[in-house]
Amino acid sequence: MTYTRPRFRNPHLPVNEIGYTQKDYEGALSTLCAGCGHDSISGAIVQACYELAIEPHRVAKMSGIGCSSKTPAYFLSNSHGFNSVHGRMPSVATGAYLANRDLVYFGVSGDGDTASIGMGQFVHAIRRNLNMVYLVMNNGCYGLTKGQDSATADLGSKSKSGHTNPFQAIDLAGLALELGASFVARSFSGDKTQLVPLLKAAMAHPGFAFIDVISPCVTFNNNPGSTKSYDYVREHLEATATIDFVPIKSEITTQYDAGSTKDLALHDESMIRLHKIAADWDPQNRWSAMNALHQARTKGEILTGLIFLDKGLQDLHTVLDTTDKPLNTLKQPELCPGSKALEEINAGLR
Amino acid sequence: MKATDIKDPEYFHKVVDCQYACPAHTPVPEYIRLIAAEQYTEAYMVNWESNVFPGVLGRTCDRPCEPACRRGRVEEEPVAICRLKRVAADHKGDVKHLMPKPAETKNGKRIALIGGGPASLTVARDLAPLGYEIHLYDEQDLAGGMMRSQIPSFRLPAEVLNEEVNFILDMGIHTHLKTYVSSLKEVLEKDYDAIFVGTGAPRGRDLPDLPGRWEAAQSIHIGIEWLASVAFEHTSKIGKKVIVLGGGNTAMDCCRTSRRLGGDEVKVVVRSPFSEMKASPWEKEDAMHEDIPILDCHVPKSFVTENGVLKGMTFEKVHAVYDEKGRRSLVSTGEPDVFIEADEVLMAIGQENSFPWIERDLGIEFDKWEMPMVDSVTFQSTHPKVFFGGDSAFGPKNVITAVAHGHQAAVSIDLFCRGESLQKRPDPMTNLVSQKMGIHEWSYDNAVVDDLRYVVPQADKTMTLANRKVEVELGFNLSVGFKEAQRCLNCDVQTVFNTSRCIECDACMDICPTSCITFTTTGPEEELRQRLIAPAPNTSQYLSVSDLLKTGRVMVKDEDVCLHCGLCAERCPTAAWDMQQYLYSVTKACKLPGAVI
């Protein structure tokens, strides 16, 4: 088995605006099973960060425990990272975000880490609208402990051992929508053309961006009868729309028929462009999004793409009216403004 | 693009860049792995089967394989393929018993070989074990041809050459040495079943019209003739000041030999710019290391003599000018002519074929350059019984090309003598075998080492310049040889893709360190090359395109900088990728008994 990636790179690799190749966003060689959906998602994260020309040291990778939560080792080697306690990634992310608002927070979790042990933390991160990407690598099973059904396993889904799941699944996208998340999307690890623009849009979104990514467990949940296998997911995908992420200052070159596209401008003047939009769906209307989710579920389909976007919700720093600067840049004059400032504060309280 | 037919034996052959570039198509990665496994005898035999003279070539080959080496495209320098061949030759055990035995019963056919160089010897080796009675004619005392007469002993010791020549002569070859063939008609009258002409390019170019050329003729020599007279010990000294004219490898051999025979101030003077000289870069380096300056852009104008004694030469200084088609012309710089003192001059400005001994009424047609008309596949001339090979077929090339010609001529002669069509040539031997040992284990060393190319050590200059028979290069020792062997990327271990097994998880695409693999929709090749993960501008390397996958995409692999590290296959959950070793052995008249190929 190969533990280290050869040093040589393709001499013709293109570079992004800041002079990095995609290889500069790579991590260590994965130790996950060969063909794991999680590795594809890592690849998509690498591609999205490369294409956005993010400086790797501007990113903080946060994770909990599980196969999914190992993946931050396998992308963005030059970024910050915190591998926290099982299900407790949102707490650590909250603290980090409050201390330094200038980083891009990239939370990676799994279906066990989020829908079981970490559920209490997850819902409060949504409620507070942390400015972060919260990505769930959702394979419907506990891969690290030999593939028991997780809380996102669909009712009736068959495991590798032949047993059928008797419980209702938690729909994390539906839950996020219900709890008021400001960006909700779902995708599939085997579809980078959809996942990469979604990741870029999620990173550009100034609030809690939730992406539920169906990621087949190639070892324990890729069998006939499973609803999270490569084949089943590919056969049951239904997209809300095809999505393009248009970064700041770039020209729109793709042409679509008039009336078939919808543009959603983000706060930094980048834009999400949707085309081939599903009928009766408005990405900025929570009821329409919920309706679309429920309808797809009833039909036995997996709705993917951008599901809901709320551009109006204020993020945690705005709500708390905290300092504009990262705490580590605050120096003595700002932290100890002197006795005159103290007198003014005291006078204000009289 | 249409799906690639990986069943075409030439497809994977071309992926093995070194083997493909080698005129004899020696399976280079195969013998390099054997060297790394300390199986020097086996490594030697893989070479011997293919190129007949591993010890000679491991010291003197022109190395067409090395510029082709994939390592040179991902790193600075190619694997030292040539010098690894020498490691196999230097450290082999007894090989005699592994070689084909002379046939116990003769087949009654008699073949004449004119010239005792590498081409003829190759024909002899391929045909003798099949029962042919081989008669080899050469004008010199010993067989070996230009390997003996033109390559100096400090690059190729006589014992190395003798050993490999004798492996062949010991197969019961009838040698007719010290026999200059002055008439092909006479040979034809001896009723041989076929005649092979391997007489090389024996005539060195002269400057007959240059002023002063004939006044001091005793001090002006043709390079290859002079080298031969040194090799056969007719010449043992030279003047103190020597000018060597020419920029090829013969010029390098002439100047370095001069340094060993008393030349204190030896200069190479060449018309073309330094960078365009024909000599191999390492040969130029070795000459300069022996304190021989190379003066480029000097065109000879005259030999300067006084009372019939050579004093030196004058040269015009020029610079190279290129027209819009890139054609070069040398234009005077307008500076005054340069005079360089010399006691003797060696002219190594090219060599030509010469067939004064072939009567023009035998049915062998010659073209307007006085070259015989020879079929480039069968090596048959317009006289069905007469075959040509080596330098005598298509002009001066090198030893490895002569060997390649010899193999094909032998196939033709065998077919001809059996009354079969020369066009219906047997297919090459190919074999494709999985290297899988376990889930993530391969039977080859798939790790890619970072080591830069190792330098071959040389003997001390004071020793080598004192005696022309002391070999300059010492060769890699075993530990450095192992490390250099590990630099080989094993390009013959092919990435074989099975479309029907692929579940499109993208794992191979994500893991590939050199971004060779892309899953995308198909398109015309030119356009497809632009939109791969890493663009593929090197059109001399193939794209491998799979059949249509379930999602309507195809797998496209750019062969250009694939490291053959096996990571794609290791990360593949369904074994849609497999690492399979591809062996390709050129069609030969005679196969080795019990050989790996």
B333 with B270, same domain: the answer is yes
CB neighbours of residue A85 within 10 Å: 14
B346 with B253, same domain: the answer is yes
Cβ contacts (< 8 Å) between B551 and chain A: which residues? 190, 234
Interchain CB distance below 8 Å, A14 and B535: yes
Does the pLDDT of residue B595 top 80, yes or no? Answer: no
Residue B291 structural domain: 204-350
Question: How many CA atoms lie less than 13 Å away from B71 in the CB half-sphere?
Answer: 25
Per-residue pLDDT at A240: 83
Nearest CA in chain B to A44: B510
Interchain CB distance below 8 Å, B567 and A218: no
Alpha-carbon torsion (B58, B59, B63, B68), positive or negative: positive
Backbone dihedral angles phi then psi of residue B429, each to the nearest 5 degrees: -80, 125
B217 with B328, same domain: the answer is yes
Is residue B73 in a domain?
A: yes
Per-residue pLDDT at A253: 54
B55 with B193, same domain: the answer is no
Superfamily name with CATH number, domain A22-320: Thiamin diphosphate (ThDP)-binding fold, Pyr/PP domains (3.40.50.970)
Residue where one domain finishes, among candidates B486, B510, B539: B486
Interchain CB distance below 8 Å, B535 and A12: yes
Cβ(B496)–Cβ(B580) under 8 Å?
yes
Does the pLDDT of residue B478 top 70, yes or no? Answer: yes
- Select the residue from B70, B505, B561 to test the A interface by mutation, using most A Cβ atoms within 10 A: B505
Exposure of B427 by Cβ count < 10 A (0-12 exposed, 13-18 middle, 19+ buried)? Answer: exposed
Is residue B251 in a domain?
A: yes
Interchain CB distance below 8 Å, B514 and A8: yes
Per-residue pLDDT at A247: 78
Q: Which of residues 504-543 of B touch A (CB under 8 A)?
A: 504-507, 509-511, 513-516, 533-537
Per-residue pLDDT at A350: 87
Q: Which of residues 245-284 of B touch A (CB under 8 A)?
A: none
Of B75, B551, B566, the CB nearest to A8: B75
Residue B65 C-alpha from the chain's centroid:
8
- Select the residue from B445, B503, B572 to test the A interface by mutation, using most A Cβ atoms within 10 A: B503
Question: How many CA atoms lie less than 13 Å away from B106 in the CB half-sphere?
Answer: 10
B566 with B460, same domain: the answer is no
Q: What mean pLDDT comes out for the span B495-500?
A: 96
Interchain CB distance below 8 Å, B561 and A10: yes
Backbone dihedral angles phi then psi of residue B312, each to the nearest 5 degrees: 160, -160
pLDDT in tens, B58-89: 999 999 999 999 999 999 999 999 999 999 99
Does the pLDDT of residue B593 top 70, yes or no? Answer: no
Of A11, A13, A35, the CB nearest to B573: A35
Per-residue pLDDT at A259: 54
Q: Does A36 touch chain B (CB under 8 A)?
A: yes
B212 with B170, same domain: the answer is no
Per-residue pLDDT at A77: 96
Is residue B431 in a domain?
A: no
Query: Which CATH number belongs to the domain containing residue B534 in this structure?
Result: 3.30.70.20
CA distances from A246 to A255, A266, A270, B592 (A): 13, 10, 6, 65
Q: Does A23 touch chain B (CB under 8 A)?
A: yes
Residue where one domain finishes, among candidates B417, B434, B468: B417
Q: Does A35 touch chain B (CB under 8 A)?
A: yes
Nearest CA in chain B to A189: B505
Does the pLDDT of residue B596 top 60, yes or no? Answer: no
Per-residue pLDDT at A57: 96
Task: Tell me the percentage of chain B whose pLDDT exceeds 70.
Answer: 99
Distance in angstroms (rounded) separating the CA atoms of residues B215 and B526: 62
Interchain CB distance below 8 Å, A5 and B511: yes
Q: Does B549 touch chain A (CB under 8 A)?
A: no
Kind of pairing, strands B436-438 and B517-520? unpaired
Q: Which residues contact B260 (CB under 8 A, 6 or more apart)?
A: B154, B464, B465, B466, B467, B468
Of B448, B505, B550, the CB nearest to A37: B505
- For chain B, what is the mean pLDDT? 95
B338 with B375, same domain: the answer is no
ipTM of the complex: 0.88
Nearest CA in chain A to B502: A35
For chain A, residues with pLDDT lower than 50 are none
Query: Which CATH number belongs to the domain containing residue B22 in this structure?
Result: 1.10.1060
Per-residue pLDDT at B292: 97
Enumerate the β-bridge partners of residue A314.
none
- Residue B452 carries which DSSP code? P
Q: Which residues contact A314 (CB under 8 A, 6 or more apart)?
A: A129, A207
pLDDT in tens, B415-433: 999 999 999 999 999 999 9
Per-residue pLDDT at B560: 96
Residue where one domain finishes, among candidates B464, B486, B508: B486
Cβ(A283)–Cβ(A308) under 8 Å?
yes
Domain count across chain B: 4
CA distances from B579 to A195, B31, B445, B493, B566 (A): 31, 18, 12, 6, 6
Does the pLDDT of residue B452 top 60, yes or no? Answer: yes
Query: Which CATH number belongs to the domain containing residue B406 in this structure?
Result: 3.50.50.60
Q: What mean pLDDT comes out for the span B224-242?
A: 95
Per-residue pLDDT at A9: 94
Is residue B14 in a domain?
A: yes
Is residue B595 in a domain?
A: no
B191 with B209, same domain: the answer is no
Does the pLDDT of residue B241 top 80, yes or no? Answer: yes
Kind of pairing, strands B133-137 and A141-142? unpaired
Question: How many CA atoms lie less than 13 Å away from A270 in the CB half-sphere?
Answer: 17
Q: Does A2 touch chain B (CB under 8 A)?
A: yes
Question: pLDDT confidence of B161, banded at 50, 70, 90?
Answer: very high
Is residue B428 in a domain?
A: no
- Select the residue from B77, B79, B450, B506 to test the A interface by mutation, using most A Cβ atoms within 10 A: B506
Ordered by start, the domain boundaries in chain A are: 22-320
